[in-house]
Structure 1
Amino acid sequence: MDSLISPDESWLLWGFLVGWAAISIYLEQKFEWASKLSGAIIALVGAMLLANFGVIPIESPTYDIVWAYVVPLAIPLLLFQSNIIRIWKESGRLLMIFLISSIGTVAGAIIAFFLLKEYIPAVDQIGAMLTGSYTGGGVNFAAMATRFDVGGETVSSTVVADNLLMALYFLVLIAIPAVGFFKKNYRTPYIDEIEKNGADNGNQAASYWKRKEISLSDIALAVGSSFVIVAVSFKLAEFFTNVIPDDANIFLTVLRGIIGDDYLMLTTITLLLVSFIPKYFSSINGAQEIGTFLIYIFFVVIGVPASIPLIIQNAPLILLFAAIIVFINMIVSFSFGKLFKFSLEEIILSSNANIGGPTTAAAMAISRGWTKLVGPILIIGTLGYIIGNYIGTGLGVWFAGMM
């Protein structure tokens, strides 16, 4: 689909991505309606509308740069104030609800397969890709596409459906805390804490992100440290991926998946550094603000690929397949989350980590002010990369046998 701004006009696209992220933050902190809606939704919806009206392209190397560089740089910045002991304690609960959400993904994929297997070509491969994606994010989607040697047209159609459903579900999850039914029937400790602390200020976003003292040294140390941590982490992950064979035995395969994963290594090294030299990282002002701004740029990019005309034209049934998985994941997550007395925030973030991966879940936690859950959901979400590959492969092989 042609667009007013072509995919190779990098400066115009960067101007839009960064500029719209800035506008979203400004609106969130300036106006009460935008604060309740959240800057994350404003960023995502704005990009989705402009992409669907043909103003910006749905694919561009510029967007790939955000995924490859902006998101990794944001993660260490957001973890500089993290307490690893508290994180590990809280991760236990999140792991349980995350696994429950994963069961919802599996159940949804099986139901969707049997309902639509007579109508969708290569449905076994599509089921594998979407199951992997909706257990740990887009990294698993790419792995499943490679594992089952899926054709380019099938991959393209499924990617668009995947992105659209992820963006729409992301909007639903962000809106849920404002719905009276959920606040009445679920515990909301993190929301209650924000409302208590911001009671004197109607705009919670502005209250939370109030002005802080920050120096040039703070900016230099925050950004410089983040670059170094990302570089070392990714190089270490690459080293272990190359050293450990991927088909030797189940133990080495799992080990390779854990210490060879870029984001899991990045999160682990950051948390270890913060634990061993806490005074250094706690003394850096502005790291969370810089990291959050980078995440808002990521929010804009999430909304871009959700092209509704392409879905209607090429893959409406694939969209239905994906919608069934997401819907069942949501039902299972919120039903069992209520049964086992999980908080609303834990359920939302765990389901988000399933469907979108750790980066989208962390971004949502940040946008809502649930900062205590950022570290735990990053840890749990990155583990989804590993189990998602196994679950997607298992269901893909089973589905192929049923064709």
Structure 2
Amino acid sequence: MNKLVMNKPLFARPVWMAIIVCSVIAALLPVLNLSFPDGHALHVSSYMVGLVAKFMCYALAAMALDLVWGYTGILSLGHGVFFALGAYAHGMYLMRAIGRDGVYQSHLPDFMVFLDWKTYPWYWAMTDNFWYCMALVVLVPGVLAFVFGFFAFRSRIKGVYFSIITQAMTFAFMLLFFRNDTGFGGNNGFTDFKRILGFSVTAPATKAVLYLITLSTLLAALILCRSIVSSKLGRVLQAVRDSESRLMFIGYDPLWFKLFVWTLSAVLCGIAGALYAPQVGIINPSEMSPANSIEMVIWAAVGGRGSLIGPIVGAFTVNGLKSWFTAAFPDLWLFALGLLFILVTLFMQEGILGMLKKMKKFRKLEKPQEAL
């Protein structure tokens, strides 16, 4: 029996086929953008490529949240801070890569010259090195999550109380980063990126490479997370979600399991933010807004939490609706988002993916009756 469980494929064959087809279609978008001129029937606009790339970053963040909420039962309302910290860590490098091409033609970024900074603060040391900043993308969210999670989980804070303190954490970081004296650009944050590894950030070829890296990272993270939740470790995480007291009774210490998945989720969220910054072209403290963290929860809920693929579907669906709604009815989007969450909570508790599974089961039940 154990061998059968361990040899079970990560996804069923139809799901693998759907993942491959969607990945190929997504990978073709930047190719069509570069290969065909404007006005051609097969041309995909740069705007569309950038929009899908942004959605993929959001999908990675939503999947990271689902790892702790859907499988471990830990509802975080503060994942926006991990996303933003990853973006800021990459943004540090991008700001220094501007060199003297800024408005003030200084070796310091424009916002530092404007605020009368004379030199880089100590925490900006070595941030002109790309790989050092990539290490920060992983370490800064990871260390913060580990320290925060260790004290929270050791104190057995859970449920709504844990959700509240995560929201308080992201709000505190947002207020800190809004200050002009912290060296992170204050209200405006980091923007006007020009180069990454010597290549122009705005060049179509660079955008295509960043897009494909984002797609590859999303797929790799999906396989990694699915491998975890399908393993014995994953079954322990689900036991934490379903009955933590019973798990402790049979001899497991939930602390380290929760801390592992919490830290991994934060790291994945930080990577999503790092991919987001150069493609969107700006990162500011508003990304740490508690509302952004709540939106991540909505993405996971709408798509179907506890499925990994569901949050990806939810992120694309909700943000696609947001793009259309804010253009057509800009004042009504927040009302529509709230209504969507209420409807999902009341009538689609398993989200879009759960609804599709129910429809599939219903069709299977109908077939024998049709044969009769």
Is TM-score (shorter-chain normalized) higher than 0.5?
no
Larger Rg: 2
- State TM-score, norm by structure 1: 0.28
TM-score for both structures, normalised by structure 2: 0.29
- Structure number with the higher helix fraction is 1
Q: Which structure has more RCO (C-alpha within 8 Å, separation ≥ 6)?
A: 1
